[in-house]
Structure 1
Amino acid sequence: MSLTYATPAPPVAGPAADRLPWRALSVLALLGFLLISTETMPAGLLPQISAGMGTSEGIAGQYVSAYALGTILVTVPAIALTRGFRRKPLLLLGIVGFVLANALTAVAPDVVLALAARFVAGGFSGMLWGLLAGYAVRITPPALTGRALSLVVAGAPVGIAFGTPLGTWLGTTFDWRWSFGGLAVLTVVVLVLAALLVPDAAGQRAATGLPLARVVRIPGVAAVLAVIFAWMLGNSTTYTYVAPYLRDAGSGVSVELLLLVFGVASIGGLALTAALVDRHPQALVLACTAVFAAAGVVLAVGHRSPVAVYAAVVLWGVTFGGASPQLQRPLSAVSGDDADVANAFLPVAFNLAIFAAGVLGAVLLGAAGGLVVPLAMTVFGVLALLVVVASRRSVYPGAR
């Protein structure tokens, strides 16, 4: 199998040479906020979804897995098939499909239809994520593309910090269907804003074909992808099933507040990563995976103490918040001229882990209850740490 990557078309005509298109970029960031909020929303609503649909919390956890599976299967083919399309019509089409999938999730009468709707939502999400970065570059003056990308990707951590807790509060206060219905309404607002404020841009011109297997065989690439998968698997298993964990823990900590603390800590971790990743890339990953694993132990052992739970969640959020840029940096470095292709594997690795986490968490929950779920952080955090240590010469060739 090969992936044909493309030469970017020139930015859309007209942007001022010294000015960011703030309004358009803010709309794209808001879309990213809604995409990540939609993906993680079920994590805080498993008891409500399972009760409302008459099923187990393990099956309700598949709301996350179905979404991730849709992203896994659609992202790369969608990017390859639509690279030549003009950006704005494709963006609007993706948003419309995303709205309809969320609306169907909100009104689905049975779990099978709801899971199918989540799969479709994940597919449109994968297509939209594949658009955002390139779209931001095309509508921004070349000298300001770094700032533009920083603004657009900020929607994801803000969604984790505030979107998921807000949706959890809405679903627990009223009904879980309100959360998905509210997301659909907000996405309609973004659709209107995108139609009004985001300029069009040309697609891409196909250039060369590159075998995917060759990219994976580049020294260091497979190791980085393995770290991403292990780290994300430990994170998502706990995050997806945090509500059953808190119920069994008996600490009195609310799901909404815990998710808010985690999200804010993740933003702090992203800032910490930005400050240190260029100077101490290997040490930062080693420290973060080690502390991440330790946080899982604290959650499991200190589950009755609110202080211990919140302290562990802060460590969890800070150490995981910068995981993506921490690993994207060495992946881009070791893949060299093939960096664009190598980075196409990132969302696939992330969402493959999210899919596996939904299944693994359901198994753990059914076999041993919610208290054992955080130990997935420890097991897979240690595994990620060991992979970094074992592959440090290929992943960080300058650190000998």
Structure 2
Amino acid sequence: MPFPLYVLALAVFAMGTSEFMLAGLLPDIASGLGVGVGVAGALTSAYAIGMVVGAPLMAALARRWPARSSLLGCVLVFAAAHALGAVTESFTVLCATRVVAAFANAGFLAVALATATTLVPADRKGRALAVLLSGTTVATIAGVPGGSALGALLGWRATFWAVAVLCLPAALGILILIGVPARLPIGHPQTVSEHPGSGHSGSGHPVIGRPVTGHPPLRAELAQLKRPRLLLVMLLGALVNAATFASLTFLAPVVTGTAGLDALWVPVALVLFGAGSFVGVTVAGRLADRRPGLVVAVGGPLLLAGWPALALLADRPVALLTLVCVQATLSFALGGTLITRVLYEAADAPAMSGSYATAALNLGATAGPLLAATTLHSRAAELGPLWASTLLVAAALLIALPARAVLAGRS
């Protein structure tokens, strides 16, 4: 894989740490700002809403901007939003900083996804996506549990400061190592590399991607959203991600309440979730290009069975921690495969395809926690989000069943 992909993954690591870290910080934030845990859960939805709105908007604005400038600006705004969030005493202001950070994250990810597909041959989009998303999965393994532990020791504000500082080396890496000529925006025809995917032009000057033979107007790229196949895979990706975030956002109360474990076990659960997500993304990277139908056919039913099993066995710590890892593996394998299909189905929208994938992911991340929060006051209590995840995956599979040919990549 071209080295610039790993530079982009470093920035995704910083942003992924922020996106997932609230799973371990919600009780402390709620207590510190004087709101309920369910209300504090709206921070996750606020972030996701910013991602949904920001992805297409930022991608459209960045069509004519140099890629390096777009990526660098997004990272710096992201860092500033976290610095402000770390010092505010207002829950409303904190929500606002999450929306701003989400816009920056959405802009970065939309440009990075579109860029990643130009760095590799056309039949390796899944592998490029796996490298890029590895930043998120490493964040769930190291960044998020580390942030949760830091929050337990020094308070949630320290975690926000840590994310802001973490953005700085990512910004420096983009500035120095992403070799994009300043005059070339995403999607502009470039000099063909002697070695496709190598990241260098024949003249020896680094470029961020392979040439794009055409640069469709914005209206033509937006028109791709009328295609039923594209809308289908976006919907399925959103449903699977909604199930993932519904349970992940409220995982801490399950660990400390139903399982009866100490608060320091929350980072352990998040590490296991992160390890599973890394395995899942790796599987998706290997199979999403050639065997997407197999991933959906095998992973979908297993994921559906896993959420109710987790709810029923949550009072047994060993079973709980094991199933958290397994469900993360299945969720990210299935979700990563579906998002790869979005990139394939939106191949005629080279500048906007990344925003479509980002929007699908975060529509799910918005709806999932909102739906899960409504179950916290039901008879299921803190296990309600796990049952909500079950319903979301069941809906996805019912929709996917008659669309097997689309998911397999066939005409």
Q: Which residue of 1 aligns with 2:83?
A: 103
Q: Which residue of 2 aligns with 1:353?
A: 364
Q: C-alpha separation between the residues in 2 aligned to 1:286 and 1:144?
A: 21
8 A Cα contact 2:281 2:333, kept in partner:
yes
One-letter code of the match for 1:203? P
Q: Quick check: 1:157 aligned with 2:137?
A: yes
Q: Within 5 Å, which residues of 2 pair with 1:206-221?
A: 206-210=215-219, 214-221=223-230
Q: How far did residue 251 of structure 1 move? A: 4.1
Q: Which residue of 1 aligns with 2:241?
A: 232
Q: C-alpha separation between the residues in 2 aligned to 1:276 and 1:89?
A: 33
Q: How far did residue 347 of structure 1 move? A: 0.9
| TM-score with structure 2 setting the length | 0.83
Q: C-alpha separation between the residues in 1 aligned to 2:122 and 2:357?
A: 26
Q: C-alpha separation between the residues in 2 aligned to 1:148 and 1:342?
A: 14
8 A Cα contact 1:219 1:395, kept in partner:
no
Identity over the aligned pairs, expressed in percent? 26
Q: What secondary structure does 1:374 align onto?
A: helix
Q: What secondary structure does 2:261 align onto?
A: coil
Q: C-alpha separation between the residues in 2 aligned to 1:314 and 1:268?
A: 10
1:77-104 alpha-carbon deviations (Å, 9 max, x no partner): 2111221112223322222211110111
Q: Of 294, 300, 303, which aligns to 2:314?
A: 303
Q: Which residue of 1 aligns with 2:389?
A: 377
Q: C-alpha separation between the residues in 2 aligned to 1:143 and 1:394?
A: 18
Q: C-alpha separation between the residues in 2 aligned to 1:275 and 1:190?
A: 27
Q: How far did residue 28 of structure 1 move? A: 2.1
One-letter code of the match for 1:243? A
Q: C-alpha separation between the residues in 2 aligned to 1:136 and 1:349?
A: 18
Q: How far did residue 216 of structure 1 move? A: 3.7
Q: Quick check: 1:317 aligned with 2:328?
A: yes
Q: C-alpha separation between the residues in 1 aligned to 2:383 and 2:277?
A: 23
Kindly tell me: are residues 102 and 68 of structure 1, through their superposed partners in 2, closer, same or farther at Cα, counting changes over 3 Å? same
Q: How far did residue 127 of structure 1 move? A: 0.8
1:267-305 alpha-carbon deviations (Å, 9 max, x no partner): 112233334445542232132122112221122111111
1:34-61 alpha-carbon deviations (Å, 9 max, x no partner): 1111111111111111111111011111
Q: Which residue of 2 aligns with 1:89?
A: 69
1:134-189 alpha-carbon deviations (Å, 9 max, x no partner): 45577x69899977765444212211222111111111122011001111111123
What is the number of equivalent residue pairs in this alignment? 378
Q: How far did residue 343 of structure 1 move? A: 5.2
Q: Which residue of 2 aligns with 1:72?
A: 52
Q: C-alpha separation between the residues in 1 aligned to 2:173 and 2:67?
A: 15
Q: C-alpha separation between the residues in 1 aligned to 2:121 and 2:257?
A: 52
Unpaired stretches in structure 2, ≥5 consecutive residues:
189-214
Q: C-alpha separation between the residues in 2 aligned to 1:118 and 1:397?
A: 36
8 A Cα contact 2:130 2:282, kept in partner:
no
Q: C-alpha separation between the residues in 2 aligned to 1:28 and 1:343?
A: 14
Q: Which segment is superposed worse, 43-52 or 368-377?
A: 368-377
Q: Of 14, 27, 33, which aligns to 1:47?
A: 27
Q: Which segment is superposed worse, 309-318 or 104-113?
A: 309-318
Kindly tell me: are residues 77 and 275 of structure 1, through their superposed partners in 2, closer, same or farther at Cα, counting changes over 3 Å? closer
Q: C-alpha separation between the residues in 1 aligned to 2:176 and 2:220?
A: 40
8 A Cα contact 2:50 2:103, kept in partner:
yes
Q: Which residue of 2 aligns with 1:241?
A: 250
| TM-score with structure 1 setting the length | 0.85
Unpaired stretches in structure 1, ≥5 consecutive residues:
1-18
RMSD: 2.8
8 A Cα contact 2:114 2:351, kept in partner:
no
Q: How far did residue 121 of structure 1 move? A: 0.4
One-letter code of the match for 1:374? L
Q: Which residue of 1 aligns with 2:204?
A: none
Kindly tell me: are residues 80 and 107 of structure 1, through their superposed partners in 2, closer, same or farther at Cα, counting changes over 3 Å? same
